[in-house]
Amino acid sequence: MTTFSELNLDPKVLQAVTEAGYTTPTPIQAQAIPHALAGRDVLGIAQTGTGKTAAFTLPMICRLAKGRARARMPRTLVLCPTRELAAQVSENFETYGKHHKLTMALLIGGVSFKDQDKLIDRGVDVLIATPGRLLDHFERGKLMLTGIEVMVVDEADRMLDMGFIPDIERIFKLTPFTRQTLFFSATMPPEITRLTKEFLNDPVRVEVAKQATTGENITQRVIAWKASSKERADAEKRDMLRALIDGEGEKLTNAIVFCNRKSNVDVVAKSLAKHGYNAAPIHGDLDQKIRMKTLDAFRANELKILVASDVAARGLDIPLVSHVFNFDVPIHSEDYVHRIGRTGRAGRSGDALTLCLPHEEKYLEKIEAMIGAKIPRADAPGVAPRPARPEREERPQGEPRRARGPRREESRREEPAPKAEEPAAVAPAPAPAREAERSRPEPRREENRRDRGDRGERRNGGGGAPVVGLGDHMPAFMMIPLPKLSARAKADEPESEDSGAEAAA
């Protein structure tokens, strides 16, 4: 069996590896490190959790032991798809490079540009970045990539899923063609194969496991069940998740629960916390400080259950995860391999349980076709049925049903409207009597009515008769004389009731 001492590593690097507690390299490390130390391009294919990060970190540190960094011109570049993976890679450099005086900069989103610019201006040996933030610095004129000696692309298939391939191609073209390239991925889709053929120079292919395979030390189970109704499916699925967690008992030391959507991550985490579980969410919409704080708490066993989107499915090295729960069956088959790869790491055993509703079975079939195996089914744990929503109180027999809006309107229409009182003829009162009436106190309504009557009297010359029509006011259009009718028009004009009455008289 090969040991690290047989890989011709730098003595200081070997000392750091020994202090970290490692003596035997993993298969991907044993095969990739010698070729990387020789300066060859390497195409590494291995499933998650096999130690790919150390496979490129250790030879890079050995190469960086010679030379010196220059301002704004990093010597090596590591591209990662997510902020968490980039932060993890930086931790590996700190662990294995602690006996070397290497400078390092981490360029990820959620961190001030100003602080990152200060690090770049001093000159860095190792630049670890996500593609978007790296190009932001380059376009601002704060970074030059012409001094890159070694370039690493980590989790390349995840880059493809996140839409970073155009950015990767652009970054490749900004670096010198004399660079050494180390390309690592768990799967090799056609687009990734095209990239390797275009930008890698006669690479050594290192493949230590069949593509898209799951670890043999991971016990996989599928809990297929049907909800009582579509409206209650999500709530009953959360009940089922809690029953599965309780059913694992002391065997479950900590767990990651994966959801397809960020909104589900928050809902599931709040539900678990509400029922007394030590759980917290992590997804791409959270602030970077919160995400790192949550991950640190999970690594330190201060947090028992991490509810995550696929941002945490790739590359995160959390060695002591006992269980993985797929709250949703992943839509992309490759994500299943990466999700359950968070458990059973470094030779340990692990458990992966997947909840599957009937509409998710099509995704499960694609996963089984990809991994070439049937995932065992398990019985759903007993879950107490949720109480039905309280229905409206039943109407006692014989009691008439309350009328709804339209019926009330009909009842209003059926009621006869009160007839308006005909205004009585008012005899003109003498002026002194009217003055006496004005001085008498009356209710406000009567006073308003009297005022309206007075205004009518004034418009009619003070005669006291009610106002008829428009009173003294005559609109201008009514003053226009009508044209004279011809004899034929007069003959055709219908007789009015008044004219008929006059004729009868």
Contacts of 307 (CB under 8 A, 6+ apart): 256, 257, 259, 265, 268, 269, 272, 279, 280, 281, 282, 327
How far apart (Å, rounded) are the C-alpha atoms in residues 9 and 2?
Answer: 13
Domains located in the chain, CATH noted: 4-207 (3.40.50.300), 218-371 (3.40.50.300)
Half-sphere exposure of 452 (CA within 13 A, CB side): 7
Structure tokens at 123: 């000159």
DSSP state of 217: T
Phi, psi (degrees; rounded to nearest 5) at 414: -75, -30
Residue 280 near residue 255, CB atoms below 8 Å: no
The pLDDT assigned to 394 comes to 45
Kindly list the distances between the CA atom of residue 346 and the CA atoms of 40, 80, 276, 321, 407, in Å, as whole numbers in the listed order.
27, 22, 31, 11, 74
Per-residue pLDDT of the chain (505 residues; tens, 9 = 90+): 688 989 999 999 999 999 988 888 988 999 999 999 999 999 998 876 678 889 999 999 999 988 777 788 899 999 998 888 898 899 999 999 999 888 999 999 888 899 999 989 988 999 999 999 999 999 999 899 999 999 999 988 888 877 899 999 999 999 999 999 999 987 788 889 999 999 999 999 998 866 556 667 889 999 998 888 888 899 999 999 999 999 999 899 999 999 998 889 999 999 999 999 999 999 878 887 888 899 889 988 999 999 998 875 565 667 789 999 999 999 888 788 888 888 887 667 899 999 999 999 999 999 999 888 899 998 887 665 555 554 444 444 555 555 454 444 444 444 444 444 444 444 444 444 444 445 555 445 544 545 544 544 444 444 555 555 565 667 777 777 777 766 665 555 555 444 444 444 4
The pLDDT assigned to 269 comes to 95
Structure tokens at 489: 């028009």
Q: How many CB atoms within 10 Å of residue 384?
A: 7
Tens-place pLDDT, residues 83-122: 888 988 999 999 999 998 889 999 998 888 999 999 899 8
The pLDDT assigned to 65 comes to 84
Q: In terms of pTM, does the model score above 0.85?
A: no
The pLDDT assigned to 158 comes to 82
The pLDDT assigned to 66 comes to 81
Tens-place pLDDT, residues 449-473: 455 445 444 444 445 555 555 656 6
Residue 312 near residue 340, CB atoms below 8 Å: no
For the chain, what's the residue count?
505
Tokens 């009937």 belong to residue: 358
The pLDDT assigned to 15 comes to 93
